[in-house]
């Protein structure tokens, strides 16, 4: 069951330039994809969620309510529904990923302000997603991020071990020779920022644009905004990244 969590106005208030100076020295900028690089209200991930449920329903021959229960149980326990399906039902990850990411992206609007802001950032930029590379590439293209990112670290590159598993971040760091203390991560799920903060990254939680309410499963709210591992919170990623660029003088 989803719960509504109200954000205090100060949680998403503009940060002072001196606060954003904390991003000085960052050489690697790491962005989650779904509900981070595009707004939650675009409902793109809703399509993925629905297709996961349909996959589970067909695979296990259960009704929609039972498929929902199983899907969310796997997501909570294993970080992704795929991980649970692999462990308990020997599901082929390639076929699963191709099916659930076969969605309509036509309603997703280009994001030129965010694209320009990301381009201004010094150093290297990455997409780090629990989804597939193909999904990330198609979504980034739709948003207008043509050559903004050096690479994409997807669930396959993570050896099918999703965030927030510590070894997944370790694989990312080693693959791209990223020094955590010189890196920043942007995420829509607070629990996925726990490890980044622990290893020395700057952390930003991205919440829905233009709202003071966040809808999540209750368990997803563990370590939510205001916790020590969340350095910054924004409901407008494009403006926030612009402000970072200005604060660090680029």
pLDDT in tens, the chain (250 residues): 333 344 443 444 556 666 999 999 999 999 999 999 999 888 888 999 999 999 999 999 999 999 999 988 888 888 788 888 988 999 999 999 999 999 999 989 999 999 999 999 999 999 999 999 999 999 999 999 989 999 999 999 999 999 999 999 999 999 999 999 999 999 999 999 999 999 999 999 999 866 444 444 443 444 444 578 999 999 999 999 999 999 999 9
Task: Give the SS3 label for residue 174.
Answer: helix
Q: Give the CATH architecture of domain 44-100.
A: Orthogonal Bundle (1.10)
Domain residue ranges of the chain, discontinuous segments joined by +:
2-40+110-247, 44-100
Choose among 31, 72, 38: nearest CA to 52: 72
State both tokens at 149: 């990112």
Whether the domain at 2-40+110-247 and the domain at 44-100 fall into the same CATH topology: no
Q: What topology does CATH give the domain 2-40+110-247?
A: Rossmann fold (3.40.50)
30 Rama class: left (phi>0) / alpha (psi -120 to 50) / beta: beta
Phi and psi at 187, nearest 5°, equal -145, 150
The number of helix segments (H) and strand segments (E) in the chain equals 10, 8
Residue 228 CB neighbour total at 10 angstroms: 9
Give the global pTM.
0.86
Answer whether 20's CB lies under 8 Å from 244's CB.
yes
């Amino acid at each position: 069951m989803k719960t509504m969590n109200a954000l205090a106005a100060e949680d998403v208030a503009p940060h002072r330039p001196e606060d954003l100076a904390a991003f000085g020295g960052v050489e690697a900028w790491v962005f989650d994809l779904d509900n981070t690089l595009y707004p939650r209200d675009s409902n793109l991930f809703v399509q993925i969620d629905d297709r996961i449920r349909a996959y589970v329903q067909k695979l296990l021959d259960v009704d929609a309510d039972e498929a929902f229960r199983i899907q969310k149980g796997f997501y909570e326990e294993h970080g992704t529904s795929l991980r649970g399906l692999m462990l308990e039902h020997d599901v082929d990850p390639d076929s699963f990923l191709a099916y659930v990411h076969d969605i309509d992206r036509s309603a997703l609007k280009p994001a030129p302000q965010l694209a320009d802001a990301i381009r201004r950032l010094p150093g290297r930029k990455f997409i780090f997603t629990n989804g597939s590379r193909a999904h990330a590439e198609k979504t980034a293209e739709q948003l207008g991020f043509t050559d903004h990112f050096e690479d994409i670290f997807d669930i396959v590159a993570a050896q099918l071990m999703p965030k927030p598993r510590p070894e997944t971040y370790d694989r990312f760091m080693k693959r791209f020779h990223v020094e955590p203390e010189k890196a920043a991560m942007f995420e829509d799920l607070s629990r996925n920022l726990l490890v980044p903060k622990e290893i020395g990254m700057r952390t930003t939680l991205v919440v829905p644009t233009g709202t003071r309410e966040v809808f999540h499963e209750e368990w997803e709210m563990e370590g939510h905004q205001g916790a020590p591992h969340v350095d910054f919170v924004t409901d407008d990623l494009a403006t926030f990244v612009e402000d970072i660029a200005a604060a660090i003088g680029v």
